[in-house]
Structure 1
Amino acid sequence: KAGVYDEYVSIPKQKKNLMMIGAGKGLTVITGNRSYVDGWTTFNTATFAVVGQGFVAVNITFRNTAGPTKHQAVAVRNGADKSTFYSCSFEGYQDTLYAHSLRQFYRGCDIYGTIDFIFGNAAVVFQNCNMYPRRPLDNQFNAITAQGRTDPNQNTGISIHNCTIKAADDLANSINATQTYLGRPWK
């Protein structure tokens, strides 16, 4: 149902094959504002967290409104195997989408952020998605992805297929002021 839901959602491991369908990006919004600066661990800043296998989300916006001065502030933390997000929006600044672990698929999604805004150690595919670097704090840079693999033998990584990377409006207005990198190692 359309609306703004100011709450923290956690889908546990035993809730398998759950599907959530919203009214559309920007119409069904799950929002929160937990941040590292406010005393939360990065892991626990997530507005929406899921670990139940086979999770599917369609037409939902997930948002963390803590802002750039609050540093790490996760909109979605995903540790659900075989999870899929279709036509969803992930909005935040630092550490927006935590692709924590296991196998994940995102198609037709919009992801907004600044530093390491797609990060984690999942085997994750982004297909036909839009990635929007935002304006970070002064003297900071943007890194779209940060992969957390610590062992070269792990079968994890971030695959970006047929996606568009375009500056968000706030960054586009100051395009020469910020360096933006596609990726960097996280650990």
Structure 2
Amino acid sequence: MIPRLHIRAHTPRAPLAEALGRPVSPDEGLTDHTVVAHWPDLDYYTLDDEQKIWTSVQWAEHLEDPYMEHPFAAGPEDDRHAIFHLEIRLHPNDRELTGPEWAEAAHRLARAAGIEVPGDGRGCRWIAVQAQPGRLDLLANLIRLDGTWNTRPANALRRLSDEARRVEQDLCLTPVQATHQPSASARPLPTASAQLATILS
């Protein structure tokens, strides 16, 4: 598994469209075969008589809600770019994972990134999208439900990389170390200093 952390965005619509491989649409419902995992307390926000299949536009709106509920929440750089986007790709020779395997990988990576904290009912809203072969996208709003900004671990990049190695081992996938030449579409996880240099430039 090769994780790639994108630069934070202000809206989830472009990252969600990239994850889907097509524009977000008010007409296309995304089933649990596409949105394979989400923040644990989502069921509390869903009325019993409300439809369970939301369109991609509705999923984007659910991720945007913390912006409206907490208009003054700002990040460490005093900005409102709260949309976290982690892309994970399988090795080209890996088998296709099942829905539960994708869901397990999503929850484990969300915990490694500090997006999901077990037992925290006021954490971040996040979803995991599996819409393209061999690829999983984790999208989250870093504005927590209590109005504070999610503080990610200082070593989040290392934690993500380490967890990806453990998921590879547990699911019998091709280890990155065994990959002689990564695919052109897969990029290794950049270091924190490399990301900071990109932002500063």
The structure carrying a bigger strand percent of its residues is 1
Structure richer in helix, relative to its length: 2
What TM-score comes out, normalization by structure 1 length? Answer: 0.26
* Larger RCO, structure (CA 8 Å, separation 6 or more): 2
Q: Larger Cα Rg: Structure 1 or Structure 2? A: 2
